[in-house]
Structure 1
Amino acid sequence: MFLADFSTLSCDETNSMKMNNAKILFLHGLDSSKESNKFHAIQAKQKFCIDVDYRNLSFQTVEMLYQNIIEKIKPDLLVGHGVGGYWTLRMSYQFHLPAIVANPSLAPKFRDDYPAIEEKDLDHDIPQFAYLELGDEMLNMYQTQQILERFMIVHTYTGGYHRLEHPENINLLVQQFEQNFQPSPK
């Protein structure tokens, strides 16, 4: 679909970003929490993150938890990293919510009850963006890029790692979302 390279951004460009207006629900990754640097790097007036113990909760339990949270918070935008990116894609499709994923796990292997993200989960007209740090040491982001770029705008950073070297780059995608898509009235 579209590919952009973030490796040429200067520190001034990423540090001088404005505060975003979208109400954001951030879905953290495996063994992470709302204390993660990814959540804190998002510059938004209204951002939320609920700690979820993915390892000890079944797929069905996590799905129900996120469904309830989305119904209560009514976010304009979902943002997720790693396993949180997996859930972001699932919930985006279920609730027709725009989404941004960062180094998402498309086929989590830490539990047996997690089905892989399939083409049918991605082939729709819901606005979605991906930010991939290609140096991810845990997941093959080149393979993820090949899958996602057929369905959404993909921004890449050459280098980086799974926990994200430049989580502040997510803000550029939030701004792109805000410039191109109006949040739905609540």
Structure 2
Amino acid sequence: MFLADFSTLSCDETNSMKMNNAKILFLHGLDSSKESNKFHAIQAKQKFCIDVDYRNLSFQTVEMLYQNIIEKIKPDLLVGHGVGGYWALRMSYQFHLPAIVANPSLAPKFRDDYPALEEKDLDHDIPQLAYLELGDEMLNMYETQQILERFMIVHTYMGGYHRLECPENINLLVQQFEQSFHPSPK
């Protein structure tokens, strides 16, 4: 299996990466949108992102919205950041879809109706990868790393911040997914 040590990468080393073939649904973070630099950094021929107002929509409404979107788009891969990472992990489990998460919020606290992710949401054989920038000023990525590394491969970047200093590093995980879990069509 291909493994990368992101702590030795600089942010511009991945600029010349090849285009990814997977159909990707990106789930943005809290107070973000499809204009997110994380979404635009993903190099994929087919990528989608739907704006979701997490603060003003109930957990149940967001869950139904993502269920409908996944049924319509039929992505090969979910990619999520922050609260979008939370949803990527939940939807990955519900739909048996591979997921990549970047600095995910495992227990969102911005609303009372969001349950924390449970072990059952993570302990399965669905391919999932995590990219954590350990310098996150909003969420403790060291704690997140300790939780996630029991269930998936976790790649870390020693610097960074919550909004991601190096969002283009997500492409390396997409390529790892394509090489390891999703053979390219012949």
Task: Please state which band the TM-score falls in when normalised by the shorter chain.
Answer: over 0.9
* Per-residue deviation, residues 49-98 of structure 1 (Å, max 9, x unmatched): 00000000000000000000000000000000000000000000000000
Task: Describe how 1:92-131 pairs up with structure 2 within 5 A.
Answer: 92-131=92-131
Q: 1:3 to 1:139 in 2, by over 3 A?
A: farther
C-alpha deviation, 1:120, in angstroms: 1.1
Instruction: Determine the C-alpha separation between the residues in 2 that align with 1:179 and 1:3.
Output: 11
Q: 1:2 to 1:45 in 2, by over 3 A?
A: closer
Instruction: Determine the C-alpha separation between the residues in 1 that align with 2:44 and 2:183.
Output: 14
Name the counterpart of 2:14. 14
Q: 1:179 to 1:185 in 2, by over 3 A?
A: closer
1:76, 1:183 within 8 Å by CA — same for their partners in 2?
no
Q: 1:52 to 1:184 in 2, by over 3 A?
A: farther
C-alpha deviation, 1:185, in angstroms: 10
Q: Which runs of 5+ in 2 are unaligned?
A: none
Structure 1 length as normaliser, TM-score?
0.95
Instruction: Determine the C-alpha separation between the residues in 2 that align with 1:55 and 1:6.
Output: 32
2:80, 2:104 within 8 Å by CA — same for their partners in 1?
yes
1:82, 1:102 within 8 Å by CA — same for their partners in 2?
yes
Once structures 1 and 2 are overlaid, which stretch shifts more, 13-22 or 92-101?
13-22
1:80, 1:88 within 8 Å by CA — same for their partners in 2?
yes
C-alpha deviation, 1:157, in angstroms: 0.1
C-alpha deviation, 1:10, in angstroms: 4.0
SS in 1 for 2:81: strand
* Per-residue deviation, residues 108-165 of structure 1 (Å, max 9, x unmatched): 0000000001111100000000000000000000000000000000000001000000
**Count of equivalent residues:** 186
Q: Identity of counterpart residues, as a percentage?
A: 96
2:130, 2:155 within 8 Å by CA — same for their partners in 1?
yes
Q: 1:2 to 1:12 in 2, by over 3 A?
A: closer
Structure 2 length as normaliser, TM-score?
0.95
